[in-house]
Amino acid sequence: MKAKTPTRNGSFADADLAADCDDRANSLESCLNELKGEGMTAQMITDFRKETESFRQLPTDDSLLKLVTTAVGKRDDALEAARSGLRRASQPIGRAFGTESSEYHSFAVGEVSRKTVTEVLNLLLTVPSIGTPYLQDPKAIAEGYTADRLTPLPGLYQTLFTLEGQVGKAETTAEQATRTRVLAYNALNTKCSAYCARGYDHFVETDASKAKLFVRNPASHPDTAVAPLPPQV
């Protein structure tokens, strides 16, 4: 069973998460002396920055989609070339014996434009042997049936088979990379929130301006905004 791709545990876009983590790292660094009592260290901030940068360097969803669509585009071009080759290999038989004849039906090409990749691959393997006897048939020869209608089919098979495999590899690569990116997103987002909680908890009772440095995305989550401290008496 294919592993289920995890979901992101936050509403930030990937690039926005990295930018937010950069901002929070700067805030943690500027308040480090005050946050040592909360267990923050310079090494923790350094590692946080490294994790953010590593996340930023992971392949993006757009680049992964391009990887797959490029492979699919090449495969589809090969599929159309194969369909054309099968039409060329069977059309003279349809003209010679009729498209309702057993001779034509033995090729099983039919509505080749509707056939799947697997079906087309199977036809590319079977049509050469089916068509070879007709190279000696006068009716087929009269309709232009020659060996050059059959000889391209093995090459078309190999090309389509190879490119279909590349589609599968691209999809697997994209799925694995997406899973890696989402897991990295979740770990980084969780760490950022945990570090911000230390800063917010430390300052919320004493310094509203510094506490705000550790409120994540307050515009999207007004309930997390920090209210000003009452005036001191």
pLDDT tens-place string over residues 35-66: 999 999 999 999 999 999 999 999 998 999 99
Averaged pLDDT for residues 195-199: 96
Tokens standing for residue 65: 């989609």
**Distance, CA of 34 to CA of 38 (rounded, Å):** 8
**Distance, CA of 204 to CA of 211 (rounded, Å):** 5
Counting DSSP H helices and E strands in the chain, the numbers are: 9, 0
pLDDT category at 227 given cuts 50, 70, 90 is: very low
**Beta carbons of 23 and 187 less than 8 angstroms apart:** no
What type of residue sits at position 113?
S
Tokens standing for residue 91: 């059309």
Task: Give per-residue pLDDT as tens, 70-89.
Answer: 999 999 999 999 999 999 99
DSSP letter assigned to residue 218:
T
Domain coordinates of the chain in residue numbers?
Answer: 14-63+175-224, 69-170
**Assign residue 8 a region: left if phi > 0, alpha if psi is -120 to 50, beta otherwise?**
beta
Tokens standing for residue 76: 């589809």
pLDDT category at 1 given cuts 50, 70, 90 is: low
CA distances from 214 to 112, 152, 188 (A): 62, 66, 15
Packing angle, helices 42-57 and 153-203, rounded to 10? 150
**Beta carbons of 185 and 17 less than 8 angstroms apart:** yes
% residues pLDDT > 90 (the chain): 89
**Distance, CA of 191 to CA of 1 (rounded, Å):** 31
Averaged pLDDT for residues 161-167: 98
pLDDT category at 207 given cuts 50, 70, 90 is: very high
**Looking at per-residue confidence, does 77 or 233 come out higher?**
77
